[in-house]
Amino acid sequence: MCSVVASLREGSNLQSPGTGSNVAARAFPRVVGPLHGEVRVPGSKSVSNRALVCAALANGPCAVSGLAEGDDTARMVAGLATLGAEIDVAGTTARVGSAIERSGSRAITLDAGLAGTTSRFLTAVAALCEYETTVTGAEALLRRPMGELHRLLREMGVVVTSQNDGRLPVTVSRGTSNPTGERVLEARGDVSSQFVSAVMMIAPLSGGIRLRLSGPVVSAGYLDMTADVMHAFGASVRVRRESSGTTVWVDAGDYRATTFVVDADWSSSSYPFAAIGLVGGEVLVPHLRTSSSQPEVAFAGVLERMGCTVQADESGVRVSRDPDRRLCGVDVDMAEISDLVPTLAVLGACAEGTTRIRGVGFIRAKESDRLGDLASELRKCGVDVSVADDGLDVRGGSLQAASIEPHHDHRLAMSLALLGMCRDGIEVRDPDVVSKSWPSFWTSMQSGLGIG
């Protein structure tokens, strides 16, 4: 069995699971006048997790640089190392010296904490191994649905034992049989794209797949992201869209040794961009690309519709808004950029008119109920908001002081915290929940924008 090295060295930006300052509540101070600055954001969490999986399945040494900060990435590194990959992390670069150990008779447990994507990807990776692996997590993660992933894995020949009706904990193994031949799978387009991405990434080592998704595909851009990362590691994968559905082909083969650079994260960038939308001014986010495969790049167009100016060059992306130019409500289908629903809702709370968010009924099963919980916390701040089956209507107006509960959701914490720049007395409880994706969120925002 290969040796396991999973060192989160001193000075690394990848925060080990469970760390934090345990501050009861935090707030951004109210801002008078426009902001100007530069905010460095982490690498893309979505790209980081995909690149780490491909690197840990590759047939030679790999390096992945620009990794996302936070618990999700640390959990992924720890999980892959427990599966036998030799991973050494220094700063935001992971060097993967050898792949996971797929043979053997041991039994192991992987704890994904609150990391939904990590838990789903690790379940699929563990399904390549002879030995039994149990994937579990924190209480909130145990409530999230995983059944469709388990079904797809079973159809690929994996032994899957779910202890909680299609949820975690789950135990998986391929047993002693070696997968051969392309599997033909079918699924509805409205299942989580994470399930499909998880199956796509293990497919080269499982004999290949042809997966037919019927109807409109939720978060289809993430399938393109997965394909792009797989291509970078030498996999043969194609995604074809037609009016009747989407077909994904992945050929049998190996991942090759690769040096991979992760883009700056558009989801994290939404918070400094939204700060400028709320109070005016200009901010640069370095190393951000409008040509990125991240679906959230579409948020640039939403900001422009609301009254901001977006400019991109070799240094990164700048967002500005003249304080004398009004911030306007918008009507947006956010099915492809659903992680940014809380960010847009906060902008809508301070915009003129109504902001209608559509196409995101499925985000009720994220880290929190990102419709109901988000609406509840906005109402505490005096915002007029109503919940629809597939989204929210947010009507801009005056704010009031409030203590906000993020419901264990990093995106609720980071977005709702921005309201403190517009009204005294707004604070976020459990502020360390941001460590899931951006542990330095509070200090990076305040120092980069010159507030506090």
CA pair distance 183, 227, nearest whole angstrom = 18
CA distances from 203 to 3, 169, 225, 250, 256 (A): 25, 23, 16, 6, 15
Q: How far apart are CA 113 and CA 111, in angstroms?
A: 6
Amino acid symbol at 329 = G
**Rounded distance between C-alpha atoms, residue 227 and residue 435, angstroms:** 28
- Tell me, rounded to whole angstroms, the distance of Cα 198 from its chain centroid: 14
C-alpha span between 24 and 391 (Å, rounded): 30
Quick one: which H or E segment has residue 311?
A: strand 309-313
Q: Which of 111, 263, 339, 373 is catalytic?
A: 339
Please name every residue paired with 332 in a beta bridge, in sequence order, or none if there are none.
357
SS3 state of residue 7: strand
Q: What is the three-class DSSP state of 161? A: strand
Element (DSSP H or E) covering residue 148: helix 147-155
Q: What's the Cα-to-Cα distance from 243 to each of 217, 224, 259, rounded to whole Å?
A: 11, 17, 37
- State the DSSP H helix or E strand holding residue 281, giving kind and residue range, or none if neither: strand 281-286
The residues, ordered by sequence, that sit 6+ positions from 324 with a Cβ below 8 Å of its Cβ are none
> Is 111 one of the catalytic residues?
no
Strand spans (E) along 119-244: 132-136, 159-162, 170-173, 183-188, 209-214, 237-242
Measure Cα distances from 194 to 159, 185, 219, 253, 375 in Å: 20, 16, 9, 22, 25
For the chain, helix, strand, coil in percent to 5 are 35, 25, 40
Alpha-carbon Rg for the chain, nearest whole angstrom, is 21
CA distance 200 to 239: 11
Q: What are phi and psi of 162, to 5 degrees?
A: -95, 130
Residue 140: how many other CB atoms lie within 10 Å: 16
Q: Return the active site residues.
A: 339
